[in-house]
Amino acid sequence: MINTPDFKADDHLLPVVAQDATSGEVLMLAYMNREAWQETLGSGVAVYYSRSRGKLWKKGEESGHIQHVLEIYLDCDADTILLKVEQLGGAACHEGYASCFFRQWQDDGSLKIVRERIFDPKQVYKNK
C-alpha cells in the first residue's frame, strides 16, 4: 500500500471528504493537489484546490467558516483523503447549510431539502 497521498503529478487532484469530527456528518467533498495537501498539513486548516477558480482555496477565507483539521485518514488506494474537522460557523456549504448534502433524493426523482439553513448566503458573501 502507498503511504502518502498518491498525487501522480503536481496538478493531479484527489478527492477529499470533510466530515464533522463531532457529529460525524459528511460536510462536503472537495479536491486537493499536492500543494493544497502540504498547505493543509502545515497550517492545520483545510486548504483545497478550487477547480472553478483554478487556484488554492483556503476554506472559509471569505466566509470565515474555516475548517480546523483534527484527524486525517487515507484510503486503501491512497487516492482519497478523509478529514475530520471542526467546522467554524457551523456551516460548510456556501448555500448556508451545515453540510453541502442538504438535499435528499426522493423516490419520485425529486430532491427535498432536509436541513435547516444556518446562515443567509447573501449576508455572508456580500460581494457576490
Interacting residue ranges for a copy of itself, rule: CB under 8 A: 1, 3-4, 15, 17, 19, 23-26, 28-29, 71-77, 80, 82, 93-95, 97, 100-105, 109-111
Question: What Rg value do the Cα atoms of the chain yield, rounded?
Answer: 15
Q: How far is the CB of 29 from a copy of itself (least distance, A)?
A: 4
Question: 51 or 55: whose CB is closer to a copy of itself?
Answer: 51
Between 43 and 104, whose beta carbon lies closer to a copy of itself? 104
CA distance 72 to 33: 15
C-alpha grid cell, residue 47? 486548504
Our CB check for a copy of itself shows the closer of 35 and 75 to be 75
DSSP result, 23-74 = T--EEEEEEE-HHHHHHHHHHSB-EEEETTTTEEEETTTTTS--EEEEEEEE
Residue 48 Cβ vs a copy of itself, minimum distance, rounded to whole Å? 13
